[in-house]
Amino acid sequence: MSQEPRKPSPLGDMSPEEFRRHAHETVDWIADYFAGISTYEVLSRARPGEIRNSLPLGAPSEGEPMRAILDDLDRVILPGITHWNHPGFFAYFANTGSGPGVLGEMICAALNVNGMLWKTSPAATELEEVVLDWLRQMLGLPKEFFGVVQDTASVSTMCALAAAREAVPGLNVREGGLGGSLASAPKGVPPALRIYTSVEAHSSVEKAAITLGLGHAGVRKIPVDEQFRMRPDALARAIDEDLGTGWKPFCVVATVGTTSTTSIDPVPEIAGICVRHGLWLHVDAAYGGAAALLPEMNHLLAGCDRADSLVINPHKWLFVPMDFSALYCKKPEVLRRAFSLVPEYLQTAEDAAVHNLMDYGVSLGRRFRALKFWMVLRYFGREGLVSRIREHIRLARMFTVWVEEHPDFELMAPVTMALVCFRARPRGSEEKISDSKIGGGAAASDLDALNERLINAVNGTGEAYLSQTRIRDRVAIRLSIGNIRTTESHVHRVWELLLTKLDDLGSPRSGTSTGS
């Protein structure tokens, strides 16, 4: 234990000896945290403002002993933490700060390099190129895909759409801003660019369109089929209609693993339409890409070899701590043209021979994110990643069978990966999924309310965290299995909690509980 309390000296950093002592304490804290993760309540019970009100109004005027800071971490900060590392975390898309990933983050912080230019840390640039090429090979994507790390899929998609716009012939937004216009457009009239994506696509597509000045109107949402996949016939019709009314279609965003239900758009057909119309195809495989590491699931990326760009998030289902998103682009020179701006003070003698990764996105400063992914890839190996993802898929299928076989529950969407969308529909409830329509009747809202109460009741136990979505305008419970520490026993437990809480809410329950 430390010989503190001792105040920091007035100049210079923490001494190496003091750092070593506190670092050991901190690593012990992290190891204890991981070892005892199940003892925490998954979802923080903090009320709005509670954590802020427990903290001083201003920064301390003098330095404080590390011991006092670490004590406050336990006392003040932890109660406001929702534990994404908890094996009972089934909300959103569950993720993991794995051991090797956390160690990579620690070393990244210690090295503190800024990989904006190759020269400012050659290893940061070259390791990034290497690990993204390893991932590309593991996904079976063609060699031409050039990878660059962004913080999130939202930013990756925004960069891809900027590149797609840059690729539009005759449009010079880079020079003329939004007033830049197509030769065919009336002078001074901004071209009405259009992106196509399904109604199930992630909100990041629209957010990127807003950011890029294309607006909500610049995104046309294409309807989906009964399995929530973009309908290629509707896409082709929408493009034809828009061409006839003066829009300039330029990009389609297909999704492999949508957020609500993990549906998979028919990329091969969509790619054909893009080729026919000369449109940029961006694939959002932020979540679903990881499943394609499994040889038996690699078909999920069918057609993606024809995409112009693709995003996958190792910080979702590849056990890399937040944040790490991989953007692949087949035309890196176009991506570069969209973003590169090199003032005198950033020029280097090596510019012609290397990639300066600041040229492929918005930010100049770049963290050495590749390090944590390299450590994850080397520590688990391809087979280690595959077996963990395969196990999550097995657990999701096991849970799906319990739902399907239970008379008081029903599946709300096909299970394609490790997300199960379902709801309680106790025997005797009138409304069936197939009856659902927008603005449904009283029976529907009763079921919605019941399912919302059920989610809250399970989450209230502190043992598990489920989230919800709307499917065909009905509340659905989402169970996402993606945490490295989640085992079969945790999935059994959340099922048991669902059954017990449904009982407590006063609904009939069958004795045929398969899973517990």
Binding site for ligand PLP (CB under 6 A): 93, 152-154, 202, 204, 255, 257-259, 284, 286-287, 313, 325
DSSP 77: I
Question: Cα(442)–Cα(367) distance, rounded to whole angstroms?
Answer: 52
**Shortest separation between residue 263's beta carbon and ligand PLP, angstroms:** 10
> Cα 124 vs. chain centroid, distance in angstroms?
23
- Would you say 194 or 202 has its CB closer to ligand PLP? 202
- Would you say 125 or 325 has its CB closer to ligand PLP? 325
Question: Cα(482)–Cα(485) distance, rounded to whole angstroms?
Answer: 9
Query: What strand order describes the sheet that includes 219-222?
Result: 146-150, 325-329, 309-312, 280-284, 248-255, 193-198, 219-222
**Shortest separation between residue 387's beta carbon and ligand PLP, angstroms:** 24
- Would you say 108 or 160 has its CB closer to ligand PLP? 160
Residue 316, φ and ψ in degrees, nearest 5: -95, -65
- Given a contact cutoff of 8 angstroms between Cβ atoms, the answer to whether 309 and 282 are in contact is yes
**Shortest separation between residue 131's beta carbon and ligand PLP, angstroms:** 18
**Shortest separation between residue 139's beta carbon and ligand PLP, angstroms:** 16
**Shortest separation between residue 260's beta carbon and ligand PLP, angstroms:** 9
**Shortest separation between residue 417's beta carbon and ligand PLP, angstroms:** 11
Return the percent helix, strand and coil in the chain, to nearest 5: 45, 10, 40
| Single-letter amino acid, residue 78 | L
Query: What strand order describes the sheet that includes 467-471?
Result: 409-411, 419-424, 474-480, 467-471
**Token reading at 89:** 């975390």
> Which residues, at least 6 apart from 278, have a Cβ–Cβ distance to it below 8 Å?
none
C-alpha pair distances (Å), 341 with each of 98, 148, 357: 36, 17, 12
- Would you say 161 or 499 has its CB closer to ligand PLP? 161
**Shortest separation between residue 208's beta carbon and ligand PLP, angstroms:** 10
- Would you say 325 or 483 has its CB closer to ligand PLP? 325
- Would you say 93 or 328 has its CB closer to ligand PLP? 93
DSSP 200: T
- Would you say 287 or 360 has its CB closer to ligand PLP? 287
